[in-house]
């Protein structure tokens, strides 16, 4: 390898290689005789410096060797739930839009993983019908007084995805913006046995304003138009998307 770089350097910089001598050996550049041959190790010093700089630009992992990609989520086993209902988010952050956005993003992530996810309208309506609560009462209130084991029977699903939104904040000080989204998730089966759990805290700060365009992410997402509108206008949209993506990276997938 060193010889290859040496030949290239000599040809294009020092004009010392026989491969590129050609006419220059007889006429030189512009009629000027070619430069004298530089012998010894000092002639290779410029080449060595260039090679040293090239090697210094190569990124090597701390442990050495090639960079290893992040492991993908494990495949779901035959007994793992196939049809899942995502319950309304237990909102401890006090932001109504944040809870709606989080629930929609979780449903999208599960569907990407190959799961059949019950529609929110069907899930919420079944719970209302079973508990005889009116439309003015939040579904979360009815869920707080129900045995979790009976929910899968009511909803006709194999598993239930629970979520709690713990923080959904954005603070701006002059040109510096801090965004924090924190949530926890867990999946239960028909016997209310916890099969998976994940939590994440997306806490980031940046200078300046604006956000990454979400058109590509929302296209064909299946998210309800009203939630898409909230998501596209939310300053915490990217932080919430990152939180869901990172948390569900360990969720077993079906495809």
Bridging pattern class, strands 176-188 and 159-173: antiparallel
Q: What is the CATH number of the domain that holds 194?
A: 3.40.50.10610
> In this structure, is residue 107 part of a structural domain?
yes
Residue 28 pLDDT: 47
Residues 34, 25 contacting (CB under 8 angstroms): yes
Whole-number percent of the chain with pLDDT over 90? 40
* Shared-domain flag, residues 159 and 222: yes
Domain extent for 36: 2-56
Q: How many residues does the chain have?
A: 255
* Shared-domain flag, residues 183 and 100: yes
Question: Average model confidence (pLDDT) for the chain?
Answer: 76
* Shared-domain flag, residues 127 and 246: yes
* Shared-domain flag, residues 91 and 163: yes
Q: Is residue 212 pLDDT above 60, yes or no?
A: no
Q: Is residue 29 pLDDT above 80, yes or no?
A: no
* Shared-domain flag, residues 110 and 45: no
For 58-87, what is the mean pLDDT? 70
Residues 74, 137 contacting (CB under 8 angstroms): no
Band the pLDDT of 178: cuts 50, 70, 90.
Answer: confident
Query: Dihedral of the CA atoms 120, 82, 218, 143 (nearest 10)?
Result: 30
Residue 65 pLDDT: 44
* Shared-domain flag, residues 124 and 42: no
- Number of domains the chain is built from: 2
Residues 144, 166 contacting (CB under 8 angstroms): no
* Shared-domain flag, residues 176 and 236: yes
> In this structure, is residue 74 part of a structural domain?
no
Residue 63 pLDDT: 43
């Amino acid at each position: 390898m060193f010889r290859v770089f040496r030949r290239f350097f000599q040809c294009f910089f020092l004009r010392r290689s026989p491969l590129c001598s050609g006419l220059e050996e007889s006429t030189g550049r512009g009629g000027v005789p070619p430069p004298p041959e530089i012998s010894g190790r000092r002639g290779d010093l410029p080449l060595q410096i260039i090679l040293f700089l090239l090697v210094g630009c190569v990124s090597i992992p701390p442990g050495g060797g090639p960079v290893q990609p992040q492991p993908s989520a494990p495949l779901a086993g035959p007994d793992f739930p196939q049809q899942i209902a995502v319950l309304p988010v237990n909102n401890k952050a006090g932001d109504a839009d944040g809870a709606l956005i989080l629930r929609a993003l979780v449903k999208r992530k599960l569907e990407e993983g190959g799961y059949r996810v019950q529609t929110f309208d069907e899930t919420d309506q079944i719970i209302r019908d079973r508990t005889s609560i009116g439309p003015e009462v939040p579904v979360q209130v009815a869920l707080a007084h129900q045995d979790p084991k009976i929910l899968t029977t009511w909803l006709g699903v194999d598993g239930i995805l629970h979520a709690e939104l713990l923080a959904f904040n954005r603070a701006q000080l002059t040109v510096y913006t801090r965004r924090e989204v924190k949530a926890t998730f867990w999946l239960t089966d028909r016997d209310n046995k916890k099969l998976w759990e994940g939590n994440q805290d997306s806490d980031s700060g940046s200078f300046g304003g604006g956000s990454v365009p979400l058109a590509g992410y929302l296209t064909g997402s299946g998210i309800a138009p009203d939630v898409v509108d909230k998501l596209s206008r939310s300053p915490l949209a990217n932080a919430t998307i990152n939180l869901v993506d990172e948390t569900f990276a360990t969720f077993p997938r079906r495809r």
